[in-house]
Amino acid sequence: MGVQQRVEILKALYRDARCLILDEPTAVLTPPEIDELMAIIRQLAEGGRSVVFISHKLREALAIADEITVLRDGKVVGNTTPGESDEQALATMMVGRDVKLVVDKAPAEPGEDVLVVDHLAVDDDRGQRAVDGVSFDVRAGEIVALAGVQGNGQTELIEAITGLRQVAGGRVRLDDRDVTGHGAHELFRAGARSALAASSSGDFSFDYTQFGIQPICRFGKTICVEPTVKVSVRGLKLRDKS
């Protein structure tokens, strides 16, 4: 993704763009790629280009900007500079009230294992190993986070767990039942759900329409959609309601 970002910037410069507008340019970049992009942006500014850097990441805004304008509900609520502000002040302007940047939470008290993934191996669409020997378990009342930049196996992992992709090795257990290789329809009935979400920038990280998801639809209408024909999406069968 970092290479693609640089290519897009070069395309804009080739067209002699004097003002670059970058909307959440670091959303799907790794930390080293972010550092490289920041260096490029500084070079462009030093060369006389104007840059509008749109981001919700406070640390990046403070690191790269000469001036910072904060929007809330479509209106300007503050203007400042990195030397006059900090993350706490920016967060307060963005939200409209004091914000605690540190979450206070009681220790979790999870119950029995619900989902157990044991040395799971999954191949991507090109037949290359995308997930190699991943193991973890999720207990009742517990939230487990899998962090990583898009394209590092998270998609293939979730697809394999929910029956949307074939498992190349390892086991998956749900409620102490071996569900390795079971189809999406069977896993859905067993209680497994996959909620695919957009990235923080609002852009989809991959093509969700391949899963039968309607890309443009209000939430209230989405949850009420009734299938009218019998279709199959990687093993997920919808009943005929016609």
Each residue's pLDDT tens digit in the chain (242 positions)? 567 777 887 788 778 888 989 888 888 787 888 888 899 889 989 999 999 999 988 999 999 999 999 999 889 999 999 999 999 899 889 888 887 767 777 888 888 988 999 999 999 989 999 999 999 999 998 888 887 767 788 889 988 888 888 999 999 998 888 988 888 777 777 776 655 443 333 333 444 445 555 555 554 444 444 444 344 444 444 444 44
Output the pLDDT for position 224.
Answer: 47
Output the pLDDT for position 123.
Answer: 93
Same-domain pairing of 86 and 123:
no
242 found inside a domain = no
Q: Give residue for tokens 């767990």.
A: 161
Q: The whole model's pTM is what? A: 0.52
Same-domain pairing of 142 and 231:
yes
102 found inside a domain = no
Which residue from 216, 204, 213, 160 is spatially nearest to 28, judged by alpha carbons?
204
Output the pLDDT for position 181.
Answer: 84
Same-domain pairing of 122 and 91:
no
Question: Alpha-carbon distance 95 to 72, whole Å?
Answer: 7
Same-domain pairing of 122 and 83:
no
174 found inside a domain = yes
Same-domain pairing of 79 and 23:
yes
134 found inside a domain = yes
Same-domain pairing of 120 and 171:
yes
Output the pLDDT for position 190.
Answer: 72
Same-domain pairing of 91 and 151:
no
Q: Which domain holds residue 85?
A: 2-95
Same-domain pairing of 172 and 73:
no
Same-domain pairing of 82 and 134:
no
Q: Where does a domain end: 95, 130, 158?
A: 95
101 found inside a domain = no
Which pairing describes strands 19-23 and 50-54: parallel, antiparallel, or unpaired?
A: parallel
Strand partners, 22: 53
Same-domain pairing of 10 and 89:
yes
109 found inside a domain = no
Output the pLDDT for position 64.
Answer: 92
Same-domain pairing of 90 and 135:
no
Output the pLDDT for position 2.
Answer: 60
Output the pLDDT for position 11.
Answer: 84
Domain count of the chain? 2
Q: Where does a domain end: 61, 95, 129?
A: 95
> For position 65, which CATH number holds?
3.40.50.300
106 found inside a domain = no
37 found inside a domain = yes
Q: Where does a domain end: 95, 129, 153?
A: 95
Q: What is the dihedral of CA 174, 176, 181, 183, to 10 degrees?
A: -50
Output the pLDDT for position 42.
Answer: 92
Same-domain pairing of 91 and 168:
no
Strand partners, 76: 71
Phi, psi (rounded to 5 degrees) for 144: -110, 125
